[in-house]
Structure 1
Amino acid sequence: MRLTVIGTGYVGAVHAACLAELGHEVLGVDLDTERIAALAAGRPPFYEPGLGAMLRRTVDAGRLRFSGSLAEAAGFADTHFVCVGTPQLPDSGAADLRHVESAVTGLTAPLHRTPYDHVLIVGKSTVPVGTADRLARDLPAHAEIAWNPEFLREGCAVRDTLCPERIVAGVSSAWAEARLRQVYATLLEAGAPFIGTDPATAELVKLASNSFLATKVSFINAMSEICDATGADVLTLAAAMGADPRIGPRFLAPGLGFGGSCLPKDIRAFAARAEALGLGKSVAFLREVDEINTRQRRRTVEFARRLAGGTFTERHIAILGAAFKPDSDDIRDSAALAVAETIRRLGARVRVHDPEAVDNARAAHPALQYALDVAKACEQADVVLHLTEWPQYRELDPVALASVVRVPALLDTRHTLDTRAWRAAGWTVRAPGRPRLD
């Protein structure tokens, strides 16, 4: 099949490459000429394991190319995936739909001259419920809109696309469903579940799923606060809860909370849309979920202050992690960088290390200091904060690292380090929600 992907940011670039990997002929469209040039050369503009090799393979095979023209897209295929961003509006929690509206509007005009009798526009962007129905009103008679939400996790997006847990298709006609089944035929033959529904339900699936996952994260972090007050152990609590199959262990990982480009903005947008519908009370709990998540950052700063002797003035603080999650260079709404900036403003000298996100972090937070190796980041540190759970940090030698810091004090907010080994090496270790063992 011939397909277009409009918007080649994180979702669009991955989706375009994976569609080409499945054997389709794909045209990626974006107004950012530098991004288009990089992608056409097989260079993804962000770090995502496996994506670079797939881009080069599909571009070299001639199944994937890129353009800056929506008119070219309209003449290239009869099925168009819209993968542009929906950031949070600066003055509210609502989603900014300007990019989605611009993509659909920009495609509509040349659709009047398209050689195809029937055209399908497929939204993958995360949008408030009702967006598809509103956009459909201005489409030409031979075009219709469907919604096919993405469920990608940064760091394993290629695998999530090629081995999906489900494919949700919100359609208004049997033709549209058949078309999407044809797009994903290889995945369906491999056993991927296909859930056909209406566009409104498909829009809700993504927001409801992210809201539920965010609630699980904030719930266990709220329990971590209770554990700190009572001497209980949040890791044992989470394991015991997760052993119940009705609850499950996933997303019951206590720590610094969630960040990134999806969960924070999605729960705020969902709450804003519910309020616009007069149903704010139905999802009022999401405001508390958001507050609990934000509170973890403040709690982390306070834990670090105590480890630093009650003040950050004249203290050197080492930060391990800048990306919002491992296997990504994405720093959008990074809890790690939010903590680092707060500590810097409180008087500390802060040096940050991250395996992939240093360049992005430096561009966004130039007042922080950065190091390309962990030992340099920790040199003469009074406290080391473990804020992003990169697997490389689990391999650190606490004995060797103790020789470069000024004070061997560690705050493990992600609960992934072997704290017994660090304590045995002479470190004072704190982990929120866990009893003090030293």
Structure 2
Amino acid sequence: MRMTVIGTGYVGVVHAACMADIGHEVLGLDIDAERIAALSDARPPIYEPGLRDLLARTVASGRLRFTTDLVEAAAFAETHFVCVGTPQQQDSCAADLRYVDAVVDGLAPRMRPGSLIVGKSTVPVGTTARLVRRLRRIAPDVEIAWNPEFLREGFAVQDTMRPERLVVGVASHRAEAVLREIYAPMIHAGVPFFCTDPATAELVKVAANSFLATKISFINAMAEVCDAAGADVVTLAEAIGEDSRIGHRFLQPGLGFGGSCFPKDIRAFAARAEELGVGEAVAFLHQVDEINTRQRRRTVALARRLIGGSFAGHNVAVLGAAFKPDSDDVRDSPALAVAAAIRSEGARVRVHDPEALDNARAAFPELQFTLDVSKACEQADLVLHLTAWPEYGDIDPSELAKVVSRPGMLDARDTLDAAVWRSAGWTLHALGRPQPALTSRRNSCVSS
């Protein structure tokens, strides 16, 4: 089937390449001419495992190409996926839908009668209905469906090719048939396919993100209680995770969530609920957001205490800039928020990250950056582990101890082997864990 993908950012470029890889003919559209030129040369605009090879393969096959020409895109196909951003508004918590509206307004008058617009952007409930009313004045023969994405950065290609579920919100059997044809390989492979109304489809995405964000903030709230009580949040998380009703996923205590989805999505969801007159039903999301933000402040406060009460004149090394590993995305990165806060209090801060330094440097030019871990930690009075890249677990703490001023580590992701670091002479601290650690282990009991 022929289709266009409008917007070649994180969601759009992955969707376009994956749809081409399963056999569709895809035309990607973006207003950024430089990005389109790079994509046409099979150079992705983001770091995402597996994407570069996938892009090279599908561009070379001829099934995937790119353009900046809206007229060409409108004429190319009858199915158009909208993958543009929906950032938070500058003056409120609500989602900014100007880019979605611009696509519909620009595309609709140029489309063939009977065309289908399929939204993948994360939008407030009621957006499809509003766009349908908007379309009636421009292109009454055009239909809109909503098909939210559920991509995890670092696993986006996998999540598109082998999704846990497909959700489509449609208003006609024809739209359902089109989407079933597009996703036929996934459906035949047994992927659950939920066909519902557009409002429910819109809500599925924000409800899922809100629930996951709540789990993260819950365990981080427990970490704060554990700090006060002298308890161990990691053992607590392991124990409650054994309950099949709770599960282990998203119960990893640490610095909290960031990125382009969870923070803005829970805020936009709460704002939309207020507009619908049911704000009290999701009022807890404000606390979820506050707990997440407080984790950053708690990390800065603990680092300040560990370094002696003041950052002024001290060297601080930060391991990690991306908001999560296997990504170069620094949008609302907890790691960079902490690094910037420490720098603002007078420290000299050097940041390392395997993939995100260009984006981090553009967002925080006042910080220092390096691709060399040893260089980042040179003469450091404190090292902060803020993004859980696997390679940080491979660092030899004995070797790193030779370049720092003081062997002090704050593991705000709690993924380093504390025993190994401490045996190498490091003082290692983590949120919600006793210091020094005397922790219980599954199937064992320690008594004094």
Identify whether the pair has TM-score above 0.5, normalized to the shorter chain.
yes
In the TM superposition, residue 416 of structure 1 has moved relative to its aligned partner by 0.5
Stretches of structure 1 lacking an aligned partner (at least 5 in a row): none
Corresponding letter in the other structure for 2:49: P
- Equivalence for 2:14: 14
TM-score normalised by the chain length of structure 1 = 0.98
Q: Distance in 2 between matches of 1:37 and 1:245?
A: 49
- Equivalence for 2:36: 36
- Equivalence for 1:76: 76
- Equivalence for 1:58: 58
Q: Distance in 2 between matches of 1:309 and 1:163?
A: 50
- Equivalence for 2:133: 137
Q: Distance in 1 between matches of 2:237 and 2:167?
A: 30
Residues 314-361 of structure 1: CA deviation (Å, up to 9, x unaligned): 110000000000000000000000000000000100000000011111
Residue 376 of structure 2 aligns to a residue whose secondary structure is: helix
Q: Distance in 1 between matches of 2:429 and 2:59?
A: 49
Q: How does 1:411-422 map to 2 (within 5 A)?
A: 411-422=410-421
Corresponding letter in the other structure for 2:220: N
Which of 118, 124, 127 in structure 1 is aligned with 2:120? 124
- Equivalence for 1:104: 104
- Equivalence for 1:313: 312
Q: Superposition RMSD on alpha carbons, in Å?
A: 0.7
Q: Distance in 2 between matches of 1:98 and 1:331?
A: 23
- Equivalence for 1:303: 302
Corresponding letter in the other structure for 1:136: V
Residue 138 of structure 1 aligns to a residue whose secondary structure is: helix
Q: Distance in 1 between matches of 2:408 and 2:231?
A: 22
Corresponding letter in the other structure for 2:4: T
In the TM superposition, residue 123 of structure 1 has moved relative to its aligned partner by 0.2
Q: How does 1:394-405 map to 2 (within 5 A)?
A: 394-405=393-404
In the TM superposition, residue 277 of structure 1 has moved relative to its aligned partner by 0.9
In the TM superposition, residue 142 of structure 1 has moved relative to its aligned partner by 1.9
Residues 123-174 of structure 1: CA deviation (Å, up to 9, x unaligned): 0000000000110113223211000000000011000000000000000001
Residues 206-226 of structure 1: CA deviation (Å, up to 9, x unaligned): 000000000000000000000
- Equivalence for 1:176: 175
Q: Distance in 1 between matches of 2:141 and 2:70?
A: 18
Corresponding letter in the other structure for 1:217: I
- Equivalence for 1:360: 359
Residues 339-385 of structure 1: CA deviation (Å, up to 9, x unaligned): 00000000100000000011111111111011111000000000000
Q: How does 1:159-308 map to 2 (within 5 A)?
A: 159-308=158-307
Corresponding letter in the other structure for 1:150: E
Which has the larger displacement, 365-374 or 94-103? 365-374
Q: Distance in 2 between matches of 1:63 and 1:38?
A: 17
Q: Distance in 2 between matches of 1:381 and 1:406?
A: 5
- Pairing 1:427–2:426 present: yes
Q: Distance in 2 between matches of 1:316 and 1:423?
A: 21
Q: Distance in 1 between matches of 2:190 and 2:68?
A: 35
Q: Distance in 2 between matches of 1:369 and 1:340?
A: 10
- Equivalence for 2:445: none
In the TM superposition, residue 306 of structure 1 has moved relative to its aligned partner by 1.0
Q: Distance in 2 between matches of 1:367 and 1:137?
A: 47
In the TM superposition, residue 119 of structure 1 has moved relative to its aligned partner by 1.0
Q: Distance in 2 between matches of 1:264 and 1:141?
A: 36
The count of aligned residue pairs is 434
Residue 87 of structure 2 aligns to a residue whose secondary structure is: coil
% identity of equivalent residues: 69
Corresponding letter in the other structure for 1:89: Q
In the TM superposition, residue 50 of structure 1 has moved relative to its aligned partner by 0.5
Corresponding letter in the other structure for 2:79: T
